[in-house]
Structure 1
C-alpha cells in the first residue's frame, strides 16, 4: 500500500507544480479588467483539486467558484447604489437648508461645527464597518452561522462604543472650535451640544450598523460584491439619518433647557451614554476581529473627527457669508466620501486576498504619481476603477444639482458659470481623494496597519475638509465675478 501511495504522489507532483507555476504567472494579470470573488484563489484550481483528491462533483466547483467581475459589472453594481446614495444626500441637503433657519441653529452656531463631525461618523464607523465586513464576506468568514453571529454582535457593539466616545469628543471639539472666533464658552450651550451629540451618535450608529449588516448579508446571498454596494448605501442613509436626529434632539433640548422639570434630561443622556461604554467594549472584546479594532482603532476615528470639525468651522463661516453653501455642502462631501470609500474598500480587500499584512503584492507600489494612480496599470491594479469613479462625478453632480433646482431648494441660481465652477471644485476634490486613497491604503498595509479599520475615516474626513474648503472658494469666486445671488449673509 505504501508503494502504491508513493507512486500516486509522484504522478501528481508534476501536475501540482505546473498548476502552481501557472497560477503565479496569471497572478496580477487582468486586475484592471476584473475583480475576483471571495473564493477566487481556490476557484482557479477547483477542477484540479477535485482530481487530486479523487472528487469529480460539480457541486463542489459551484460552491467554491464565482464568475469574474468585469469592469462593466462593477460599474453597474456601483452606479445604482451611487444614485441611491446621492438622492439620500440630496434629501439631507434639503433638510440642512431647512433646519439652518431653526432657532437652535441661529442662536447656537456651534451646531454647524457638529454637523460635519457627526455626519463624518458614517465614514468613521458605518463605512468602516461596511468595509471590514465586506472583506470578511469576500474571505468567506460570514458563511458559518456561528461566525456570522459573532461578527455581527461584535461589530455592532464596537461601533456603539466608538460612537458614544467620538460623539462626546465631537461636542467638546465643537465647543473649543466655537470658542476660537468668540473668545468665550457658554456652559449651557456646551451641555446641549454634548447631550445632542451623544444621543445622536448612539441612535444613528445602531440603526445604520444593523442596516449595514443586513445589506452585506443580502449581497453575499445574491453573489454581489459588497465592496461595491455597502459603502454607498451607508452614505445614502447616514447623512439623512444623522442630520435628522441631530436637528431633532438639538431643537428639543434647546426648547427644554430652561425648563426646570425637563432640563435634567440633558445630564441624564450624557451620564447614561458614558456609563454604557464599558458594556459595549466588553461585548466587542469577545470577538477576535473586533477585539483588535477595539484597542487599535481609536486614533483614526478621533483624528478624523478633529479633521471634520475643522471642516465644520469652515462651514460655520461660509454659511454665515453665503447661505447657498448649506444645500451643496452635504452633496459635494457625500459624493467625494462615497466614491473614495468604494476605492479604499476594494484596494483593502485585494490586499487581504493577495498578501500578508506588511507585504505589498508585486503589482502595487506606494510611491506613485497622480498619473500612475489613474493610467498606469503596472504600478497599481485599480486604475480602471479610479477612472470609472472619476467618470461618475460630473453625471452624478448634474443629476443631484438639477434635482435640488427642480425642488426649488437653496439660495443659488443654477447658471452656466455656477455649474462650471461647482463641477470643477467637485472634480478636483475627487481626483485628490482617489490619489490619496491609493497612497494611504498601501502605506498603511505596508506599515502593518489594516486599512479596513483606518483608511476610510481619514479619507472621508479629508473629503469633508477639502470639499467644504473648495465649495467656500467656489462661492467666493462666484460672488467676486458677479455671478452670486443677492441673499449673501441673509
Structure 2
C-alpha cells in the first residue's frame, strides 16, 4: 500500500490510536460506506459459490492427476501443491486486497497505469522466488526422510514450480486488475468479490499448469537436463528486472520492502501442509478431492474478512468485536456452501468416499472449526499489524491463507482418521 507522503494523503490518529487516512482526490464513496449487510452477503455468497465450483473442479483434477506417473514416481510434487496453490493467497489475493483499498481511496481513477505495471512486476518477482523456494523445500522434505538425492527430480521440481508460479501469477494478476476495475465501475464493493474470484481461477489454473508442466518434464527425465535448466535460468534473470521496476514504483515500493517475510513464511507454512497432504493421501485416497475445497473455502473467507477489515482501517472505520457483522455473515455461509460442494462432488461420484451422514457431520465440524479459528486469528492479526504501522493489505492475507491450508489439511486428515476409527469408510467409490 502507499506511504501517505507519496499519495498526497494526510495521516491522522484518532482517539483509539488507529490511523485515519484521507485522500483529497478520493471520489464520493457513499455506496461503499453505507453498504447494506444483505447486499454484502449476497455479493460474498455468489462470489464464494463461483470460487467453490472452481475449487471443486480443481479437486476433481487433483483426484485425476494423483494417478499420473509423475505424481506416483515423484511424490514430492504433492508437497508443491499447497505451496503453489497458496500463491493465490500470497500474491493474487494480496494484490486484490491492495487494489481494493486503492479503489476505495480513488487511485484507480488517477494512476491506473502505474498501479498495473508496478503490481504485475511485484507479483512476478515474488512468484518466481517463492516458486524456487517451494521447490527447494519440496526437495529437502523429500530427501530428508530417505537420505537419497536425485538431481533429475530436483530439476524437475524446480523448473515446474518456477514456470507454474510465473505464468499463473501473470494470468491471474491481469484478471484481478480487470475484476477490480469493472467492480468499481459497477459500484460493487471489490472487497466482497475480488479475493474469491482470484481463488476460483487460481486453484484450477495453477494445478492444471503444475500437472501439465511436471508431466512434460517427467517425460524427458533421465535423458536431458537442458530444458529444466533453461527454465530456471530465465526465471532467475527476470527477478532483478521485475524487482527493480516494482521498487521504483510508488504504489509497490512499500509492498516490496515489507512483503517478503509474509510471503516466504506463508510458503513454509503451506509446505508443512503439503507434508501432511503427502502422508494422508498415501493412506486415505479420499482426502485428495476434499482437500482443495476445505482449504479454499477457509482461505476465501478469511481473505475477504482481512480485506474488508483492512479497508475499514484505511478509511477511518473499525470493527470492535471479533464477532462483527462480517464474521457472522461468513460463518453463516460455511454450512450451505460446504453442503453444496459436498453434494456436487457426491453427484459426480468423484473421489473415493461416499457421503454418509456420519461423514458429513465429521467433515462439517472440521470445516466450521477451521473457519472460526481463521476469522478469529484474522481479526487480531490485522489490528495488530495496523497498530505496528504495517499495511495489512501487504502482510496479513499470506499468513492467513497459509494457515487456512495448514489447518484445513490437518483437520481434514484428522476427520478421516476419526472416520476410519469409527468404521465409516468407503475407499472404492470413484475407482
* TM-score of Structure 1 vs Structure 2, range by shorter chain: over 0.9
CA contact (8 A) 2:163 2:231 kept: yes
CA distance in 1, matches of 2:24, 2:361: 46
Structure 2 runs not aligned, ≥5 long: 1-13
The 8 Å contact of residues 397 and 423 in structure 1, kept in 2 or not, is answered as yes
Distance in 1 (alpha carbons) for counterparts of 2:250 and 2:183: 24
- Partner deviation per Cα, 1:213-253 (whole Å, 9 max, x = no partner): 00000001111110001000001000000000000000000
Note the 1:382-421 alignment, pairs <5 A: 383-421=324-362
Q: Which residue of 1 aligns with 2:60?
A: 94
1:113 to 2:79 alignment: yes
Question: Does residue 208 of the first structure (1) align with residue 172 of the second (2)?
Answer: yes
Say which SS state the counterpart of residue 142 (structure 1) adopts: helix
User: For 1:40 and 1:407, how far apart are their aligned partners in 2?
Assistant: 51
1:342–1:275 CA distance, 2 compared to 1 (3 A):
same
Aligned to 2:214: 250
Counterpart Cα distance in 2 of 1:469 and 1:42? 47
Partner of 2:405: 464
Structure with greater contact order relative to length (CA < 8 Å, sep ≥ 6):
2
Is residue 77–residue 229 contact of structure 1 (8 Å, CA) maintained in 2?
yes
1:239 matched to which residue of 2? 203
Q: Is the 8 A contact 1:39 1:64 kept in 2?
A: no
- Does the CA contact (< 8 Å) of 2:286 and 2:427 recur in 1? no
Structure 1 residues 41 and 483: CA distance shift in structure 2, 3 A: farther
TM, length-normalised to structure 1: 0.81
Between the aligned partners of 2:24 and 2:355, the Cα distance in structure 1 is 50
Provide the C-alpha distance between the structure 1 equivalents of 2:213 and 2:426, rounded to a whole number of angstroms. Answer: 32
> What do residues 391-435 of structure 1 show as CA deviations (whole Å, max 9, x unaligned)?
100101100011111111000011000000000000000000000
Matched, 1:320 2:261: no
Do 1:386 and 1:434's aligned partners in 2 also have CA atoms closer than 8 Å? Answer: yes
Contact 2:22 2:315 in 1 (8 A): no
Greater Rg over alpha carbons, structure? 1
Rounded to whole Å, the distance in 2 between the matches of 1:341 and 1:243 is 20
8 Å Cα contact 2:353/2:427 also seen in 1 = no
2:181 to 217, 224, 247: 217
TM-score, with length taken from structure 2: 0.92
Q: How big is each residue's C-alpha offset from its partner over 1:275-313, in whole Å with a ceiling of 9 and x where there is no partner?
A: 111111122122112011112210000000000000000
Secondary structure of the structure 2 residue equivalent to 1:64: coil
* Structure 1 contact 341–456 (Cα < 8 Å) conserved: yes
**Aligned position for 1:189:** 153
Question: What's the offset of the Cα at 1:160?
Answer: 0.2
Residue pair 2:280, 2:287 contacting (<8 A) in 1 also: yes
Partner residue, 2:11 = none
Once the two structures are TM-superposed, the CA of residue 41 in structure 1 deviates from its matched residue by 11
Q: Please give the residue correspondences for 1:253-332 in structure 2 after superposition, counting only pairs within 5 Å.
A: 253-260=217-224, 263-332=225-294
Name the counterpart of 1:125.
91
Q: Which residue of 2 aligns with 1:373?
A: 322
Residue 477 (str. 1) matches residue 418 (str. 2) = yes
Q: Which residue of 2 is the match for residue 153 of structure 1?
A: 117
Q: Which of 442, 452, 456 is equivalent to 2:393?
A: 452
Deviation at residue 96 of structure 1 after TM alignment: 0.1
Partner of 2:374: 433
Deviations 1:355-379 (A, max 9, x none): 7xxxxx6x64xxxxxxx511xxxxx
Q: Distance in 1 between matches of 2:138 and 2:302?
A: 26
1:71 corresponds to which of 31, 34, 37: 37
